[in-house]
Structure 1
Amino acid sequence: MGYLHNAFRKKSFRLLSFVVGLVFALVMGCQTSAQVASTEILWDTYGIPHIYGKNGSNAFQAFGWAQMQSHGNLLLRLYGQARGRAAEYWGEEYLESDRWVLTAGVPERARSWYSLQSPTFRSYLDAFAAGINAYAREHGDKLDDEVEVVLPVKGEDVLAHLHRVLHFTFVVNPEQVAGVAKEESKPGSNGWAIAPSRSATGKAMLLANPHLPWSDLFLWYEAQITAPGINAYGATLVGIPVLTIAFNDNLGWTHTVNTFDGWDTYELKLVDKGYRFDNKVRSFETTTLSVKVKQKDGSLLDQPLVVKQSIHGPVVSEKDGKAIALRVVGLDRPGVLEQWWDMARSQNLKQFETALQRLQLPMFTVMYADRDGHIMHLFNGQVPIRKKGDFEYWQGIIPGDTSKTLWTKIHPYKDLPRIVDPQSGWLQNTNDPPWTTTFPTAIKADDYPSYIAPRFMDFRAQRSTRMLFEDDKITFDEMVEYKHSTRMELADRILDDLIPAARKQGSELALRAAEVLEFWDRQANADSKGAVLFAAWAEQIDWDKTFSKPWNENFPLTTPDGLADPKSAVATLEAVAAKVEKTYGSLDVAWGDVFRLVVSNKNLPANGGSGNLGIFRALDFAPASEDRFQAVAGDSFVAAIEFSQPVRAMALTSYGNATQPGSPHVGDQLAIFVNKQLRPVWRERQEILAHLEERKMF
């Protein structure tokens, strides 16, 4: 009842805000053209900044200000880490982060990249930094004292943060280098592009749906940027000065993390003070850095960091007469921010691809749609040209004693898997390889080097494809409904085997478990009963051994299937059923009673779950207590766009558009998330003014 009362109060407040905003809009409609031309931020009632810049520099400055107002503490902490000085600022807990950043050469390379920017774009970076600093000067009381040590921010700090995020978090991260398999620990996403032939209105549609952790450098920030030559709406990661997923009146795109391999670790055989390469001994380039670590008494302790560079890249570990060196793509390509900026300024497919062809963005699938009716899937990435080996070979540690394994060039744009306007009329990607983007198959794996991408199609991709494949004419509202689907593809595939096996072989407990699974709706809605039991079973099975029919690319939507060992599957079901019943007092506990959405002081029942289960509305959970779990990653920013006239769009930033203490927008969209809805996108000035919360003039 408390939730309903709060929801009613919030709805009443928004109604009042709408009326006040409408009156204000009528008044502001009389403003002079000179006032319209001034730079300003119009904040709507969801804390979305709509930036109007009289030129590019002013727009960037306002965007820097806006990000500080919404995420100032987080932004400064991220910039401090990108400098490799976080341990100096905040203590030993950041020491490993600094070592990673400095070994990778992030701060030094950011300075080089800054000098390589075009004069115009360099001025934009400076303006973004100036906006950050201006906010801090005027509102330092709203920032935590401990993060102010990062100030002032410079343009090169913006690039250092970008570099750390893109190349040394998304392309490769420390956990992967330490031994985690390359394909694991990767954030995910959903992306759809629907052509006019499959759209109920005859207009192309786009679904943007990244799934990232709900914290730290992965947080999305929703905004609109309007300036001469640009009027784009979308989102970016906190601290990045351009929109990275966006749309305008004529086109839009989204990204998903693709099955891309842009890094390798090489094993070097150490000889004397060097390493063996092509039957010769090469010397390392060695630099000794000093990492300052803040002590509990406030003093600084210097710790030396010796960075060794081989022809492959920096040495990241040494043991038993061998060293491991890391090689990463894109370190010589500093223009990704300007590329994203020009993608948002593009007005048609040709202009958009002209920007893409620069290949400054090191990875990510690009899913695209436009007003002209074109849709496109591009397996974007700086893909190394490798002389040998398939995708699996390059997942291991590579011999580093020969130039035969050392890649030095990347594939040009024309070599990348790409399809425009497929026969099917739709494209999808859920972090699966490009070969499964649509059916009939439009991008054939055999036409590309075997190292570009693996061959598989997981259950989330199959669920995604099934929803598109089975609907000949998709309405905008249906696309939004499909986006919120919590149906488990795995359950649809395997329950017809598991339930009879439990009834045939199982104990009294297994029979009761089978009964619960029989009457379950096969979804992970808040009130779904049986989902907790099934998810617990799926978590315990050995996915490589469970199915009697493994995945087959000739039957991509119906495999894997069948139980290889029904007896073992039932034994696992009995074991998890006993645990579920003991923990929750019932086998049919509701999903939302166990899985929660917790942001700030809000604690609401979740819907959605692991993509491994074949759930399109993906959420990942972590233990919050002995018997409850809270969402920590997954559905984050969502945008559904139809390229009609005018463009129709709805969006949601699940956890709200702010993290700054005291902001009313921390978690304010969570109730919409719970209801499996999106909110309207306000792009026109008059409707923004009608929902105005705050205005900032520059």
Structure 2
Amino acid sequence: MLAISQLNFIKGIFSSWYSRYTSKVFPQKSFRILCFIFSVVFTLAWASPSLTLSQRTTEILWDTYGIPHIYAKDTPNAFKAFGWAQMQSHGNLLLRLYGQARGRAAEYWGEKYLESDQWVLTMKVPERSRSWYKAQTPAFRRYLDAFAAGVNAYAKEHPDLIDDEVKVVLPVKSEDVLAHLQRVLNFTFVVSPEQIAGITDAEQKPGSNGWAIAPKKSATGNAMLLANPHLPWTDLFLWYEAQINAPGIDAYGATLVGIPVLAIAFNDNLGWTHTVNTHDGWDTYQLKLADKGYRFDGQVRPFQTETLSLKIKQKDGTLREQPLIVKSSVHGPVVSEKDGKVLALRVVGLDRPGVLEQWWDMARAKNLSQFETALKRLQLPMFTVMYADRAGNIMHLFNGQVPMRQEGDFEYWQGIIPGDTSKTLWTKIHPYQDLPRVLNPKSGWLQNANDPPWTTTFPPVIKADNFPPYMAPRHMYFRAQRSAKMLAEDPKITFDEMIAYKHSTRMELADRILDDLISAAQNQGSELAKRAAKVLAAWDRQANADSKGAVLFATWAEEIDPDQAFSQPWNENSPRTTPKGLANPASAVATLEAAAAKVEKAYGNLDVAWGEVFRVRYGNVDLPANGGEGKLGIFRVLNFVPNSDGRFQSFGGDSYIAAIEFSNPVRAMALTSYGNATQPNSPHKGDQLQMFAQQKLHPVWRNMKEIKAHLAERKEL
């Protein structure tokens, strides 16, 4: 940026020129006015922070957390720089993900990727990526080409920083980016092979929290937004934090590695986050076989069949070829053929190639109207949208491509659907105006913690009875109840309080049932049960690192049947206070005795600290954990897997956090739990984990002065 003395010098020249010549040579008043305007515009152009050196060229400014701040002279160069930046931070991972999206990972890296290739090819991801590329607008096609060029340029300049085994993926093409997008959105989030196989472990599903707070609920009178996705800390689920500044855009946020635009973001005027919504965008149809085909509306139709050749790399480096027969019905590809039972899969969004451009335009929007114009394209197959802006608007949208179905409720469509009739075959999706949406509720707050849209605020604004019964289920689990409780009970929320609430580890489940459990154990339990009750009575009902009693309670909770445990089951007329109470005190006490014996045997005492048993581990970092499973009603989600030593290690949960206040200037704090890089040479692999364990966020630096004050590296492209 030009110094003040330089600006004053330029302004002096124009003032002198204006006064000396315009009145004498060109006495016309209109011309003198034009000259004055020209001088002002020229001076302001030089003075403008947006026209710094870094926007007359293209630069990546890396801050001390490894976050790239891209200042580009135009949009194609912004995309190129983002491709470069992702390679510097995640090059090995990005190339491996693109190799899998091609359906050639087994050819590149061996047998363990065979099932991945079979899934990708059966879903026709590579083939569709080529048609999606052709369907892009000419401008956005150039942007995708530029992103791929940035990936390839980094690989060419820094071959020594990329693992040899992933270089086989190079050069990357735009079609690879779109194939990866499909694999992530349509064939992991909307539906995955595990879902089709009936593997429905709730704790391994992607999740999220999202808040939008209106000025009337904010202590400062500014709208606020909380973004908090919960994803596994590995593979295609990793977040990448960045800022993109180019003509027409200055957005900060995060995206999944390999995605060329920000998926969760904010700018000076507005911001949004996503949560995984209770969206049903896929169905499996059971086909009735007949004459080498299948029955449909009283006729026999032939399968469409294609034979592909899979190549599988052997340990000696040779390639083994294996045929893959892909069969499809009018519903979609056949995904299972067992014991004469044939299942075909139908998935939304495969005819909607504009996801990336929609996200890009959401980040460029300057107000609610522009933002919703982008949303109304309905290119994004799923995810709730939680929105807030400088004007004070807050919005919750149950976003997604919801099939228009002729019959059945949400539960019906979770099962296997008869595939012999067109009555069950959906071909259209609901338009934007049909989707559950809340704008500026009287409560002043909106929340979503993967619950259906009916419970986004209280008093309720949208009623489930006004929507098709298949739109979304009816329930409100403990984490969502905890979320709503924190918002409802605080009349004026400060920015710091919002962050503190985000890190809350209080177990809503304990608040509903613990008093009854303690009483029952004290009155009718064994000596062990009474000792356990004493520990639970002293417990703070939180899952902080030093919380004693949390391990015992969580062990007990793991053994109960939540559908049978409560004397008062969940009731949609009392959605935030039910379920509660013990249905069978004697059984609960017996379970507590067993849990106490297990804890005492494993850890030596009943009041072992939570952080001694539950650990935050990433790379070589090992720290006491705080937070836990959402089913316990904990807002700060951490998912764990057991270790061989009897302890538990984090594998997912809170992954990206952003707290934003639409003040002037915008105030923001953020964190990428595991750091902003995975490359072996990077100092940012796991470097934010200490802050994560301490329930801290890092400041978001968005203006040039802040970025330069925390500059670690600079790259001009």
The TM-score by the shorter chain falls in which range?
Answer: over 0.9
Letter in 2 for 1:671: Q
The reply to whether residue 658 of structure 1 matches residue 682 of structure 2 is: no
1:393-436 CA-to-partner distances (Å, cap 9, x unmatched) read 00000000001100000000000000100010000000000000
The reply to whether residue 123 of structure 1 matches residue 142 of structure 2 is: yes
- Residue from 343, 346, 366 that aligns with 2:365: 346
- Residue from 47, 71, 94 that aligns with 1:52: 71
| Contact kept in structure 2, 1:277 and 1:403, CA below 8 Å | yes
Look up the match of 1:434: 453
Look up the match of 1:333: 352
The reply to whether residue 66 of structure 1 matches residue 85 of structure 2 is: yes
- Residue from 600, 605, 623 that aligns with 1:604: 623
Name the CA distance, whole Å, in 1 between partners of 2:84 and 2:521: 60
Name the CA distance, whole Å, in 2 between partners of 1:648 and 1:448: 38
The reply to whether residue 286 of structure 1 matches residue 301 of structure 2 is: no
The reply to whether residue 133 of structure 1 matches residue 155 of structure 2 is: no
How many angstroms does 1:32 deviate by?
9.1
Local SS of the residue matching 2:61: strand
Local SS of the residue matching 1:344: helix
Letter in 2 for 1:41: I
The reply to whether residue 198 of structure 1 matches residue 234 of structure 2 is: no
| Contact kept in structure 1, 2:54 and 2:72, CA below 8 Å | no
How many angstroms does 1:496 deviate by?
1.1
Alignment of 1:82-101 (within 5 A): 82-101=101-120
Letter in 1 for 2:303: F
How many angstroms does 1:37 deviate by?
1.4
Name the CA distance, whole Å, in 2 between partners of 1:417 and 1:186: 23
Local SS of the residue matching 1:42: strand
Name the CA distance, whole Å, in 2 between partners of 1:315 and 1:267: 10
Name the CA distance, whole Å, in 2 between partners of 1:650 and 1:139: 32
Name the CA distance, whole Å, in 2 between partners of 1:359 and 1:183: 27
How many angstroms does 1:601 deviate by?
1.3
| Contact kept in structure 2, 1:545 and 1:564, CA below 8 Å | yes
Name the CA distance, whole Å, in 1 between partners of 2:249 and 2:338: 53
Look up the match of 2:27: none
Look up the match of 1:207: 226
Look up the match of 2:273: 254
1:26-65 CA-to-partner distances (Å, cap 9, x unmatched) read xxx9999555411000000000000011111000000000
Look up the match of 1:363: 382
Look up the match of 1:19: none
Local SS of the residue matching 1:74: helix
How many angstroms does 1:320 deviate by?
2.8
Name the CA shift for 1:46/1:346 in 2 (closer, same or farther; >3 Å): same
| Contact kept in structure 2, 1:41 and 1:696, CA below 8 Å | yes
| Contact kept in structure 2, 1:256 and 1:365, CA below 8 Å | yes
Local SS of the residue matching 1:87: helix
Name the CA distance, whole Å, in 2 between partners of 1:32 and 1:325: 55
1:560-589 CA-to-partner distances (Å, cap 9, x unmatched) read 011111111111110010010011001000
Look up the match of 1:380: 399
Local SS of the residue matching 1:293: strand
1:656-679 CA-to-partner distances (Å, cap 9, x unmatched) read 000100211011111111111111
Look up the match of 1:187: 206
1:182-221 CA-to-partner distances (Å, cap 9, x unmatched) read 9775300000000000000000000000000000000000
| Contact kept in structure 2, 1:221 and 1:237, CA below 8 Å | yes
How many angstroms does 1:180 deviate by?
2.9
Letter in 2 for 1:160: A
| Contact kept in structure 1, 2:213 and 2:445, CA below 8 Å | yes
How many angstroms does 1:461 deviate by?
0.4
For these two proteins, the number of residue pairs brought into alignment is 670
Letter in 1 for 2:674: Y
The reply to whether residue 533 of structure 1 matches residue 517 of structure 2 is: no
Per the normalisation by structure 1, the TM-score is: 0.95
Per the normalisation by structure 2, the TM-score is: 0.92
Letter in 2 for 1:472: P
Name the CA distance, whole Å, in 1 between partners of 2:58 and 2:505: 43
Name the CA shift for 1:41/1:405 in 2 (closer, same or farther; >3 Å): same
Name the CA distance, whole Å, in 1 between partners of 2:707 and 2:49: 15
- Residue from 540, 565, 573 that aligns with 2:584: 565
Look up the match of 1:516: 535
Look up the match of 2:562: 543
Alignment of 1:535-684 (within 5 A): 535-684=554-703
- Residue from 440, 446, 468 that aligns with 2:487: 468
Name the CA shift for 1:50/1:512 in 2 (closer, same or farther; >3 Å): same
Local SS of the residue matching 2:310: strand
Look up the match of 1:307: 326
Name the CA shift for 1:73/1:445 in 2 (closer, same or farther; >3 Å): same
Alignment of 1:502-513 (within 5 A): 502-513=521-532
| Contact kept in structure 1, 2:55 and 2:246, CA below 8 Å | no
Look up the match of 2:28: none
1:121-157 CA-to-partner distances (Å, cap 9, x unmatched) read 0011111001000111111111111000000000000
How many angstroms does 1:600 deviate by?
1.4
Look up the match of 1:318: 337
How many angstroms does 1:293 deviate by?
0.4
| Contact kept in structure 1, 2:55 and 2:72, CA below 8 Å | no
Name the CA distance, whole Å, in 1 between partners of 2:549 and 2:313: 51
1:254-274 CA-to-partner distances (Å, cap 9, x unmatched) read 000000000000000111211
Look up the match of 2:507: 488
Higher alpha-carbon deviation: 585-594 or 626-635: 626-635
How many angstroms does 1:626 deviate by?
3.1
What is the percentage of aligned positions where both structures have the same residue?
A: 77
Alignment of 1:147-162 (within 5 A): 147-162=166-181
Local SS of the residue matching 2:288: strand
Name the CA distance, whole Å, in 2 between partners of 1:576 and 1:321: 45
The reply to whether residue 500 of structure 1 matches residue 519 of structure 2 is: yes
Name the CA distance, whole Å, in 2 between partners of 1:412 and 1:679: 40
Look up the match of 1:274: 293
| Contact kept in structure 2, 1:176 and 1:182, CA below 8 Å | no
Local SS of the residue matching 1:515: helix
Local SS of the residue matching 1:334: coil
Name the CA distance, whole Å, in 1 between partners of 2:511 and 2:564: 19
Name the CA distance, whole Å, in 2 between partners of 1:52 and 1:373: 29
| Contact kept in structure 2, 1:206 and 1:641, CA below 8 Å | yes
Q: Which runs of 5+ in 2 are unaligned?
A: 1-47
Letter in 1 for 2:702: R
Letter in 2 for 1:444: K
Name the CA distance, whole Å, in 2 between partners of 1:406 and 1:319: 22
Letter in 1 for 2:62: W
- Residue from 237, 246, 250 that aligns with 1:218: 237
How many angstroms does 1:599 deviate by?
1.3
How many angstroms does 1:319 deviate by?
2.3
Name the CA distance, whole Å, in 2 between partners of 1:556 and 1:687: 45
Name the CA distance, whole Å, in 1 between partners of 2:406 and 2:575: 30
Local SS of the residue matching 1:451: coil
Higher alpha-carbon deviation: 441-450 or 172-181: 172-181
Name the CA distance, whole Å, in 2 between partners of 1:277 and 1:403: 7
| Contact kept in structure 1, 2:242 and 2:254, CA below 8 Å | yes
Name the CA distance, whole Å, in 2 between partners of 1:319 and 1:678: 50
| Contact kept in structure 2, 1:229 and 1:345, CA below 8 Å | yes
Q: Which runs of 5+ in 1 are unaligned?
A: 1-28
Name the CA shift for 1:494/1:667 in 2 (closer, same or farther; >3 Å): same
* C-alpha RMSD of matched pairs (Å): 1.3
Letter in 1 for 2:319: L
Name the CA distance, whole Å, in 2 between partners of 1:680 and 1:185: 30
Letter in 2 for 1:142: L
Name the CA distance, whole Å, in 2 between partners of 1:322 and 1:542: 32
Name the CA distance, whole Å, in 2 between partners of 1:370 and 1:634: 27
| Contact kept in structure 1, 2:616 and 2:625, CA below 8 Å | yes
Name the CA shift for 1:276/1:635 in 2 (closer, same or farther; >3 Å): same
